[in-house]
Every structure is written in structure tokens, then in C-alpha cells.
């Protein structure tokens, strides 16, 4: 059994706590937060000895640390852990900038320690099925596509955590936070985004945040097709992981609710998936599946489906949309 720890006991940490509690691959030994009372609350619900400084883990014989901290803290904490011989499972985004992400990847390579990223929607049932069908070539190549992300984020969301809504802390708004999962799915499903042009901006007249709340991009795929993406957190309702792909012989729609395929003769095939309801249902059901797969791959020495090398493109896509202003920018890998 591996020995694990969770660093950062805020809102997202519950997904990691649920996955690690009574896990078949690991025991949760420690939970860490600079606000010690949050670590205590996490410990009472999911287990682990509460700590207030992640550096206390360095002599605790920990195999894996889950980094669930504000975006801007990822590079320092992750590279520190890797340097001390600890494998890392990091929440998205890997980093705020491509250069930071590359430094983290180099550190993983230098130390020989694993660095996985929490792109849980790669493990959604609809995603897995869509990936298999696309790679089979059954319906031909991808010609065009659309990705849609809508969330709602008002003033209270930003006031709850001071690092949110600031470029220095969050690294952006709707693109890097709410939309990065869907942008990652576009890259993952299509075989890769080669370049893009886009625009982002702040549409609300609000002093609650400085970052963008809406964006759009036209992504050129490696195979020659194009995908247009629309992202906003100004809509009172959440629509996440909606990716529609028009192939030569069918139209494929990938959602958390399932995979829909409309064949060229009009025949419609629907592959349903498990759907959550209630608070944070938009986060999906696949955190536990992905975390289990990380530990299984670590145990067996296999390549992890969401390792740091494959996560670099998502950071590059985010940065490209932020800096494009209509100019075409090549995606780094």
C-alpha cells in the first residue's frame, strides 16, 4: 500500500478525500493546510493526521502527495515535493504559465518521480467511448467541432478565496479555471491542437475580479480540422464538457450525460453515462476513477493517462487564448 497526503483542504479537496478514503491502493496518512482548522475538519471527515506546513511531510515516508492548493502555488510546492522523492498528483492547472509547467516537468524527469494532473474528465464514460471510436476511424476524420462552457460566478465566489479573480493568484478567469477541462478534452480527443487564435475579455462591469469572464477561440487541429470554443461564467447555469465533433460520416457529441452519435443516414446512437445531481454536480463523477488509475499506473510502472507531459498542452492553450488578441499562436507540447 502506498502512503499518501493531501495538501490544501479547501472546497476541491473533498474529491480527493472521498477517493482516498478506504482506497485499495493507498492509505491517507496526512492532510495539510496553512489554515490548520481546515486540515482538522478534513481529517475528521476523511482521515489523516492534520498538519499546517507541507514541508513536515519530507520525513514522513510519504509516497504520493495530492496538491490541491491555489494555482500560483503549484510550481513551488510540486517541485519541492518531487525534489524530496515524493510523487505528486496535482489539481489543474499544472501551472499558470507554460514556462512554469515546463520547469515542473523537467523536475519530474530529473527526479524520476511521477507528476500526474487532475484532468478527471478524460475518464468520463462518454470520453473513453468517444476516444475509442475516434481512434478506430469508423466515421472518418474530424472536419470541424465546437466546445461550449458556461458557468456562473458572482462576487461571493471571488470573495470566498482572496486568490481567485486575480491574475497573480488564479492566472486568469473562466479560461484557466472553468474551461480548462473542456479545452483539454478537445486536445485529448482530437489528436492535438496545433495552433489557435482567440479573444478574451471582462464583460461584466464588476470590481469583484480583474480576470476575464468570457472568451472564444478558433483552434486548428493537427489533422487539419478546426474547433471553435466559447467560454463564459456569466450565465446562470453550468454547461461543462460539451464537445461536438463533425466527422466525415457522423456528428459526435460528448457530454457528462453520455455520448451521442448521429450517423450520416440519420440513425442516432446514445451511450448513457452516470450523472450526478446536486451541489457541484458539474464537477462530474470521475475524480475517483482517475485517482485510482494514477495509483494503479504507479504500482505497475505504466504510463498515466493524465501525466504532466500530456497536461502541458492545456496550459499552452490557456496562455494562447489570453495572449492572442486575434493573432494565431502555436501550441507548445
pLDDT tens by residue, 273-286: 876 544 454 556 79
pLDDT at 275: 63
81: number of Cβ within 10 Å: 27
Cell of 132: 475509442
Cell of 285: 463523477
Using alpha carbons only, give the angle 145, 150, 151 rounded to the nearest 5 degrees. 155
If one counts every other C-beta atom within 10 angstroms of the C-beta of residue 19, the result is: 24
Annotate 76-100 with DSSP letters as a single string: HHHHHHHHTT-EEEEPSPS-SSHHH
**pLDDT score at 278:** 45
Low-confidence ranges of the chain (pLDDT < 50): 277-279, 281
Backbone torsions φ then ψ of 28, nearest 5 degrees:
-85, 110
Q: Which residue has the cell 467560454?
A: 231
| Range(s) of the chain covered by CATH 3.30.360.10 | 121-330
Q: Please state which CATH number belongs to domain 2-120.
A: 3.40.50.720
* pLDDT value at residue 283: 54
Ramachandran quadrant class, 191 (left: phi over 0; alpha: psi -120 to 50; beta: rest): left
Residue 181: HSE in the Cβ half-sphere, 13 Å Cα cutoff? 26
Question: What's the grid cell of residue 60?
Answer: 514522513
Q: CATH 3.40.50.720 spans which residues of the chain?
A: 2-120
The whole-angstrom distance between residue 24's C-alpha and the CA centroid of its chain comes to 24
Q: Are 241 and 121 in contact (CB under 8 A)?
A: yes
CB 284 within 8 A of CB 276: yes
Q: In the CATH scheme, what architecture does the domain 121-330 have?
A: 2-Layer Sandwich (3.30)
**pLDDT recorded at residue 57:** 98
pLDDT of residue 284: 63
pLDDT tens figures, 210-266 = 999 999 999 999 999 999 999 999 998 777 779 999 999 999 999 988 999 999 999
Rama region for 48: left / alpha / beta (φ>0; ψ in -120 to 50; rest): left
Amino acid at each position: 500500500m502506498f502512503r499518501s497526503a493531501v495538501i490544501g483542504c479547501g472546497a476541491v479537496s473533498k474529491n480527493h478525500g472521498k477517493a482516498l478514503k478506504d482506497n485499495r491502493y493507498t492509505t491517507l496518512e496526512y492532510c495539510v493546510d496553512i489554515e490548520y482548522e481546515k486540515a482538522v475538519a478534513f481529517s475528521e471527515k476523511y482521515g489523516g493526521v492534520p498538519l499546517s506546513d507541507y514541508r513536515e511531510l519530507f520525513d514522513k515516508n510519504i509516497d504520493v502527495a495530492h496538491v490541491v492548493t491555489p494555482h500560483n502555488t503549484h510550481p513551488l510546492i510540486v517541485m519541492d515535493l518531487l525534489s524530496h522523492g515524493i510523487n505528486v498528483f496535482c489539481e489543474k492547472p499544472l501551472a499558470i504559465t507554460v514556462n512554469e509547467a515546463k520547469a515542473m516537468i523537467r523536475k519530474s524527469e530529473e527526479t524520476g518521480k511521477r507528476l500526474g494532473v487532475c484532468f478527471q474528465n478524460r475518464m468520463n464514460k462518454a470520453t473513453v467511448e468517444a476516444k475509442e471510436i475516434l481512434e478506430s476511424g469508423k466515421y472518418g476524420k474530424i472536419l470541424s467541432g465546437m466546445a461550449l462552457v458556461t458557468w456562473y460566478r458572482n462576487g461571493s465566489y471571488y470573495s470566498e478565496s482572496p486568490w481567485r479573480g486575480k491574475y497573480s493568484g488564479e492566472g486568469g478567469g473562466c479560461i484557466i479555471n472553468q474551461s480548462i477541462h473542456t479545452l483539454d478534452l478537445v486536445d485529448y480527443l482530437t489528436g492535438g491542437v496545433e495552433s489557435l487564435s482567440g479573444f478574451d475579455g471582462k464583460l461584466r462591469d464588476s470590481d469583484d475580479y480583474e480576470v476575464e469572464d468570457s472568451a472564444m477561440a478558433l483552434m486548428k487541429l493537427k489533422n487539419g480540422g478546426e474547433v471553435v470554443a466559447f467560454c463564459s461564467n456569466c450565465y446562470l447555469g453550468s454547461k461543462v464538457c460539451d464537445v461536438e465533433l463533425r466527422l466525415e460520416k457522423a456528428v459526435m457529441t460528448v457530454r457528462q450525460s453520455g455520448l451521442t452519435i448521429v450517423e450520416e443516414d440519420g440513425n442516432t446512437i446514445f451511450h448513457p453515462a452516470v450523472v450526478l445531481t446536486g451541489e457541484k454536480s458539474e464537477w462530474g463523477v470521475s475524480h475517483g476513477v482517475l485517482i485510482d488509475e494514477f495509483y494503479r499506473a504507479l504500482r505497475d510502472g505504466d504510463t498515466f493517462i493524465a501525466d504532466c507531459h500530456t497536461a502541458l498542452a492545456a496550459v499552452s492553450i490557456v496562455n494562447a487564448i489570453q495572449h492572442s488578441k486575434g493573432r494565431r499562436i502555436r501550441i507548445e507540447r
